[in-house]
Structures are given as C-alpha cells and as structure tokens.
Amino acid sequence: MHQVNVGEDMREHNRRIAAENREMLRSRGIASLNIMSAPGAGKTSLLVRTLPRLRDRCRVAVVEGDLQTSRDADRVAETGVEVHQITTGEVCHLDAAMFHSALHRIDLDELDLLLVENVGNLVCPAEFDLGVDRRVMLLSVTEGDDKPRKYPLMFMQSSLLLLNKIDLLPHVDFDVERASREAREINPDIEIMGLSCRTGEGLDAWLAWLDRFIESSGGA
C-alpha cells in the first residue's frame, strides 16, 4: 500500500498549493482559466485568435505548459501578450506547484485575466487542480463524438466545452447532438459552444462568455 500513500501525499500536497494559488489570484480579483484538451485540439490556435481581441478589453497574461519546445509559447507571444512558459519535460500535465512558480514570475497587480494552456492530454491534467477559477476544455470534432463517456473526468470538471474545428463537420462522422447529450449526462451544468479557430465561426460567442466570466470574477 506504499504507492497509494505516496499518491495520497502527492494529491494532498497539490491541493494545498492549489489553495494558495487560488488565494493569490482571488485576493487580487484576477479571473483565471485552465484550458485543457487532447494534443492538437486547438488550444494554442484558440489563444492566438482570442488574445488580440481580448487585449483591448482587459489586462491578460498566459501561462503555457508544454512537455518540450517553446513552439506554442512563441506563437502566443507573437500576439504581443505576456507569456510564461512551463516546460514539464517528462510530466504529462501541469500541477499546482509548477503553476505556483509561474505565478511568482508574473506581476499579478497588473492583471485582470490569466489563461493557462495545459499540456495536451485528455486524462492527467484533469486530475490536478491548479487553483484557477474555472476549467475550459476543447474537443476537436475530428476526435470523435464518443469521447465524453470514454474520458469523463475532464468533462465533469469543465464549465465550458468548446467543440472546435466545426468547419470540418462536413468531412467527419461527428454527431454534435450525441456528443453534447453525453457531455451533459456527465455534467448537467456544462456549457457547450461550437467554434472554428480556422474560419472564426463561434469566436464572438466565446468572447462574450469570457466577458461574462471576467465580470463575474470582479475583474476589468
């Protein structure tokens, strides 16, 4: 039972640091989002599309989690928004301690919104609370409409499910109704929006969601 105890210790340790992170952000009225998905579902493309339109609305920064390379961080930095990279090496998710280190590098007094792009992985990132306000997940329609029941934890935790790459719907077998129904069976409160980072369809609704979220957190 040795391993189980260590796992429990690690989880308790993560919970404690996540609580600290939450306090650091909430005490300053900073709205924060943990953006999660499988690899290649479009997290970075979503940020690249979103940030230029957010910059006029509020003060925003991004934390980028990646196993290797600064490719995503570089793409995000091109928008002119402040980016802080966490290179996880072999670790397949961000945890609260990694995020805590990043928070210490950011001037939190100059911030309304903090967006975290987690490592591309539909499983493990959902197991580690970072201490942010809400979780948002992307599911690309190319991944299949059977994913909610197969990977329930992330759907259970997310406030918003973004069905990305809807421009490809005519070319794939993805039943939006089925995916939405299953996601709501797992999490009745989840909001669901379709969008395409490629064509820009649906981005206005996502921006409006972000505006409401920032307001409700007391920022901007």
Give the footprint of its own copies on this chain (CB under 8 A).
2-3, 6, 10, 38-40, 66-69, 71-72, 90, 92, 119-124, 127, 140, 142-144, 146-147, 149-153, 165, 167-168, 171-172
Are 174 and 147 in contact by the 8 Å Cβ rule? The answer is no
> Least CB distance from residue 51 to its own copies, whole Å?
19
By beta-carbon proximity to its own copies, the closer residue of 31 and 119 is 119
Sheet holding 60-66, edge to edge: 82-87, 60-66, 113-117, 31-36, 134-140, 160-164, 191-194
By beta-carbon proximity to its own copies, the closer residue of 20 and 40 is 40
By beta-carbon proximity to its own copies, the closer residue of 77 and 144 is 144
> Least CB distance from residue 23 to its own copies, whole Å?
25
Torsion sign (Cα): 128, 130, 135, 140: negative
> Least CB distance from residue 170 to its own copies, whole Å?
9
Residue 63: beta bridge partners?
84, 116
> Least CB distance from residue 113 to its own copies, whole Å?
25
**CA distance linking residue 189 with residue 86, whole number of Å:** 31
By beta-carbon proximity to its own copies, the closer residue of 10 and 208 is 10
**CA distance linking residue 153 with residue 126, whole number of Å:** 6
